Amino acid sequence: MSGIDLLINEHKYVNRMLVVMRKACFDFMQNKEIDYDDFDKMISFVRNFADSHHHKKEEIFLFNKMVEHLGETGKNVITHGMLVEHDLGRNYMRNLEEALDRHKSGDKEAGLDIIANAVSYATLLENHIHKEDNVIFNFAKRSLKEDILEVIDKECLEYEEKNTSIREENIGILNSLEEKYINR
C-alpha cells in the first residue's frame, strides 16, 4: 500500500465519525439531552486519529514535499488550502469543547454552539476529504517524482507501524459510537 493509499483509507474512518457526529447532534436536537461522554469521545477521535495521526502524516510526509517540489502551485494549494482547512477544523473542535463545558455548567444556549461547531466541522471535513481524495492526492501522484513518492510511502508506512495502537484504539471508539448512534 502506498502512503497516499493509506491516507485515502484513513479518510473512510474519519467520514464514518462525521456521520456519528451529525447523528449525535440530531439526537440532541430531538431529545434535548446530550451525552457529554460521547461528545468527549468524538473530540478525542478527531484530535488523536484525524488530526494527530492522519493529518500529521499528510502535513509532514506529503504536504511538505508538495510545497518543496511542486513550485508555486504546490505551495498555494497546500498552504492556502489544505493547511488552512486543517486549522479551521482544529478551531471547530476547540469551540465545540468550550460549548460543551458551558452547556455542562448550565448555559443551555451553548447547545446551539455544540451543534453549530460539530456540524460545521463535519461539513468542512466532508468537503476537505473529497478535495484531497479527488484532486490533491491525484495531483501529488501525477506531479511528484517517483523517488519522492517512494520516500512518502516509506515515511507513512513506518509511522503507521510505530503507531498501530492509536489506530486500533480510535477505530474501537468509532465502532462503539456507531453501535449507539447508527446501528441501533
Give DSSP secondary structure letters for 152-174.
HHHHHHHHHHHTHHHHHHHHHHH
Question: Residue 117: which of 9, 16, 43, 17 has the closest Cα?
Answer: 43
pLDDT surpassing 90 at residue 130: yes
Average pLDDT estimate for 131-135: 97
Q: pLDDT higher for 21 or 31? A: 21
Cβ neighbours for 22, distance < 8 A, ≥ 6 positions apart: 118, 119, 122
Cβ distance 21 to 118 under 8 Å? Answer: yes
pLDDT digits over 22-50, tens only? 999 999 999 888 999 999 999 999 999 99
Are residues 144 and 15 in contact, defined by beta-carbon separation less than 8 angstroms? Answer: no
Kindly state the percentage of the chain with pLDDT values over 90.
97
How many CA atoms lie less than 13 Å away from 118 in the CB half-sphere?
31
Instruction: Give the ranges where 32-145 is alpha helix by DSSP (H).
Output: 36-45, 56, 64-69, 71-77, 83-104, 110-131, 137-143
Q: Which of 125, 129, 127 is nearest to 8 (CA)?
A: 129
Flag whether pLDDT at 184 surpasses 90.
no
pLDDT tens-place string over residues 151-177: 999 999 999 999 999 999 999 999 999
Mean predicted lDDT score pLDDT of the chain: 96
The reported pLDDT for the residue numbered 32 is: 84
Q: What is the pLDDT of residue 147?
A: 98
* Whole-number pLDDT of residue 11: 98
